[in-house]
Amino acid sequence: MMAVRRHAIVGLGSRAQLFARALAASPRAELAAFCDHNETRMRVHNDWLGTEIPGYRPADFAAMLAKERIDVVVVCTPDHTHADYVVAALEAGCDIVTEKPMTTDVDGARRILAARRETGRSVRVAFNYRYNPVHRKVRELLAAGAIGEIGSVEFSWLLDTAHGADYFRRWHRDKAGSGGLLVHKSGHHFDLVNWWLGSGPETVFALGRLFFYGDENGRRHRTAGDRFALDLEASPKLRALYRDAEREDGYVRNQDVFAPGVTIEDDLSVLVRHNGGAVLNYHLHAYSPREGYHVAFSGSEGRLELDVRENEYASGAEPVPKRGRARLTLQRLWAPPEVVLDQALGEGHGGGDERMLSELLGDAEPDPLGCAADHEAGLQALLTGLAANRSLETGRSVSVEELLAEIGEPA
């Protein structure tokens, strides 16, 4: 019988709710402690769960790990703080589950990988999109050689003006805190491509700009009624977690997307040569009228295309009710197209959240497709984002070997 492992969650924002509920309901895990600099948020999570989980401030993180006999730390803090908590927990003998990205910079990657080597503990990265059944089908077909050797991948991701705008209201708007969308958001997508292809990035070139959001662009979008304003009072969850907690730490969840201080891009193109030879042509668009993505694989024996429409349009700060649908089409050379699947999307990242949580808590079925993402997967996704950011800064293509040398990892 598997021993019950004691978990602590550090960072009690909205994403932590997913892990807290799963841990509280699991017979294989115990939610033993919370850690956050905001007492209100810790109290709100206890209210939601009907529990009295002890809460600790960040200054008491090490003491919490010892006193509560923590086995696993779940890291849900702002991205730039991941490395500090991951390293401290590893050195205390804990295993790690961290939200993506694993970290946001070369220094954080170096520290995490060194601590993992020295302690022998595990680091798991919550790449939930791998667990989406549609994405699993793509992986299965490619691994089976359905279109032969992969020559190129075209990947376009659309964030609508509800979801996309939200990154410009929150702490993500500052690249120093999030690494920008190429690290925070595109890390999901770069990981999917790495996993689908079974390879990693080799050379990266990027172009991007802040085109739609930010104070320089606000003039063209201002109207009498601001469609981008987010009313925290209208959402009991957001009001409890953020509006009612503002007085403690001053964090404003619903900043003006056209206010000064935005240092991230909203329109990005990235070209990646993989070490297996395939080339990825990627685009992220954060101000689309609808949400969805399109991925096309061109191989020596045909083409595989995935088209996902998550909603038809966004209205103000909230999208219309989702009627998402995914369609996967396989077309071999000299043959008519075959619709492999055409189905409604599951809830929670296409059904990926629930499956990922089951796996992380030890309740999952066997994993023949390798959905579980470790520190190496976290590093490979991060390398693409970091190289792309460096390319934006320098205007040149960036070799991943350059970054690996700085991190202290072999190429």
57-80 residue pLDDT tens: 999 999 999 999 999 999 999 999
> Is 369:139 a contact under the CB 8 Å cutoff?
yes
Same domain, 156 and 175: yes
Nearest 5 degrees, angle CA 188-CA 243-CA 8? 55
**Do 306 and 327 contact (CB within 8 A), yes or no?**
yes
Indicate if the pLDDT at residue 315 is higher than 60: no
* 190 shares its domain with 266: yes
Same structural domain, 71 and 135: no
Whether 135 is covered by a domain: the verdict is: yes
CATH for 388: 3.30.360.10
Residues 273 and 158 in one domain: yes
Same domain, 142 and 18: no
In SS3 terms, the chain reads as CCCCEEEEEECCCCCHHHHHHHHHHCCCEEEEEEECCCHHHHHHHHHHHCCCCCEECHHHHHHHHHHCCCCEEEECCCHHHHHHHHHHHHHCCCEEEECCCCCCCHHHHHHHHHHHHHHCCCEEECCHHHHCHHHHHHHHHHHCCCCCCEEEEEEEEEEECCHHHHCCCCHHHCHHHHCCHHHHCHHHHHHHHHHHHCCCEEEEEEEEECCCCCCCCHHHCCCCCCCCCCCHHHCHHHHHHHHCCHHHHCCCCCCCCCCCCCCCCCEEEEEEEECCCCEEEEEEEEEECCEEEEEEEEECCEEEEEEEEEECCEECCEECCCCCEEEEEEEECCCCCEEEEEEECCHHHHCHHHHHHHHHCCCCCCCCCCCCCEHHHHHHHHHHHHHHHHHHHHCCCEEHHHHHHHHCCCC
CA gyration radius, the chain: 21
More confident: 202 or 257: 202
- Could you tell me the CATH number of the domain that includes residue 38? 3.40.50.720
Residue 243: inside a domain, yes or no?
A: no
The boundaries of the domain holding residue 294 are 129-214+261-350+375-407
Same domain for 150 and 292 = yes
Query: Mean pLDDT throughout 311-331?
Result: 73
Domain-located, residue 231: no
Tally of structural domains, the chain: 2
The domain boundary, picked from 125, 141, 163, lies at: 125
Cα 87 to Cα 137: distance, rounded to the nearest angstrom: 35
Angle between helix 375-394 and 186-197 (nearest 10)? 120
Parallel/antiparallel/unpaired status of strands 201-209 and 267-274: antiparallel
Domain boundary among 125, 159, 184: 125
* Residue bearing the bigger pLDDT, 219 or 379: 379
State the pLDDT at residue 187.
Answer: 98
Residue 248 lies in a domain: no
Task: Read off the tokens for 123.
Answer: 């680091």
- Sequence-separated (6 or more) residues with CB below 8 Å from residue 327: 306, 307, 308, 339, 341, 342
Which pLDDT does position 224 carry in this prediction? 47
Kindly state the average pLDDT of the residues 205-229: 78
The predicted model gives 185-190 an average pLDDT of 98
Q: At a CB cut-off of 8 Å and minimum separation 6, what does 175 contact?
A: 263, 264, 389
Residue 250 confidence (pLDDT): 76
Residue 342: pLDDT band by 50, 70, 90 thresholds? very high
Please indicate, yes or no, if residue 253 is contained in any of the structural domains.
Answer: no
pLDDT tens-digit readout, 241-250 = 777 777 787 7
Residue 352 has what pLDDT? Answer: 66
How many angstroms separate the CA atoms of 276 and 254, rounded? 43
Choice among 267-271, 322-326, 340-344 with the minimum mean pLDDT: 322-326
Q: Same domain, yes or no, for 72 and 16?
A: yes
223 in a domain, yes or no?
Answer: no
Amino acid at 105: D
End-of-domain residue from the set 75, 92, 125: 125
In DSSP terms, which residues pair with 298 in a beta bridge? 152, 303
Rounded distance between C-alpha atoms, residue 256 and residue 314, angstroms: 18
In this structure, the answer to whether residues 142 and 59 fall within a common structural domain is: no
Give pLDDT, residue 366.
77
State the average pLDDT over residues 38-60: 96
Report the chain's mean pLDDT, rounded to a whole number.
91
Whether residue 284 sits in one domain with residue 182: yes
Q: Could you tell me if residue 242 is inside a domain? A: no
Residue 390 located in a structural domain: yes
Of residues 287 and 357, which shows the higher confidence score? 287
Number of Cβ atoms within 10 Å of the Cβ of 342: 11
- Whether residues 22 and 153 share a domain: the answer is no
Rounded mean pLDDT of 335-348? 87
* Domain identity same for 58 and 157: no
Note whether 183 and 312 are same-domain residues.
Answer: yes
